[in-house]
């Protein structure tokens, strides 16, 4: 069943699973999860027959299992295709910092994190061609990723950060060079880089 769960669905389920209300019974939790997994409203869930509801309740038990998975090269979502960046050299400091900011609350922001480390693609004849990444379209990319498979997105994001952490090009010199490319003067670039380095230091990579 994990292959049917989208990023958006898991984001709705996450607080129910990890921090349920003290007033909810196990039955209440299962009914809420049934609704999310099957795209049913609360009213539609309550209108199910006992037999139907028990069947669907049994089906959501998979959510108690670990969602083991593997990273993917690209995702097909909302009628579009996005390729995950697998080489740390292909992402600049600004996008890395942006993604690390969202990583502070990884599951609720998973679509935003992923949108910072993908490249939109288009199939031309028999091959996939990279399209230009437009930072102004970050929210559009993120909204598309909400419809993607949760496990594919999650493990691809984790894989990226593991690779990036091993390479670690985000030094103050690297930040300064990127800021200078944007036209920032030397002294200001050094000051801003020092601030950004302090922000990045100690940031938590998703596990």
pLDDT tens by residue, 140-157 = 999 999 999 999 999 998
DSSP sequence for 137-197: GHHHHHHHHTTSBHHHHHHHHHHHHHHHHHH---SHHHHHHHHHHTT--HHHHHHHHHHHH
128: β partners: 123
- Is residue 10 very low, low, confident or very high in pLDDT (cuts 50, 70, 90)? very high
Residues 53-62: tens digit of each pLDDT: 999 999 888 8
Q: Quick one: pLDDT at residue 105?
A: 75
More confident residue, 41 or 191: 41
Strands 80-84 and 74-77: antiparallel
Q: Contact at 8 Å (CB) between 140 and 79? A: no
Say if residue 132's pLDDT is above 70: yes
Cβ atoms of 32 and 23 within 8 Å: the answer is: no
Confidence class for position 64, pLDDT limits 50, 70, 90:
confident
Q: Are 2 and 64 in contact (CB under 8 A)?
A: no
75 φ/ψ angles, rounded to the nearest 5 degrees: -120, 145
- Residue carrying the six token digits 């795209």: 39
Could you tell me the two tokens for 113?
């994190």
Euclidean distance between CA atoms 163 and 54, whole angstroms? 43
pLDDT averaged over the chain?
80
Q: Is 199 left (phi over 0), alpha (psi -120 to 50) or beta?
A: alpha
**Rounded to whole angstroms, how far apart are CA atoms 116 and 153?**
12
Separation CA 30–CA 8 (nearest Å): 18
DSSP string for residues in 109-129: THHHHHHTSEEEEEEETTEEE
What does the block give as tokens for 88? 């740390």
d(CA 82, CA 134): 13
| pLDDT for the residue numbered 30 | 92
């Amino acid at each position: 069943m994990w292959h049917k769960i989208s990023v958006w669905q898991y984001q709705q389920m996450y607080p129910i699973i990890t921090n349920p209300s003290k007033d909810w019974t196990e039955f209440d939790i299962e009914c809420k999860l049934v609704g999310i997994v099957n795209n049913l409203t609360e009213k539609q869930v309550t209108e199910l027959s006992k037999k139907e509801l028990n069947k669907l309740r049994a089906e959501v038990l998979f959510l108690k299992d670990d969602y083991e998975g593997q990273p993917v090269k690209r995702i097909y979502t909302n009628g579009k295709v996005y390729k995950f960046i697998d080489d740390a050299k292909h992402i600049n400091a600004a996008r890395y910092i942006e993604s690390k900011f969202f990583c502070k609350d990884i599951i609720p922001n998973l679509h935003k994190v992923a949108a910072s480390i993908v490249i939109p693609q288009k199939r031309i004849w028999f091959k996939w061609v990279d399209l230009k990444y437009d930072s102004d379209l970050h929210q559009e990319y993120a909204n598309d990723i909400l419809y993607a498979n949760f496990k594919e997105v999650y493990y691809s994001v984790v894989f990226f950060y593991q690779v990036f952490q091993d390479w670690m090009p985000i030094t103050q010199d690297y930040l300064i060079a990127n800021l200078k490319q944007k036209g920032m003067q030397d002294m200001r670039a050094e000051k801003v880089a020092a601030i950004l380095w302090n922000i990045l230091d100690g940031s938590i990579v998703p596990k």
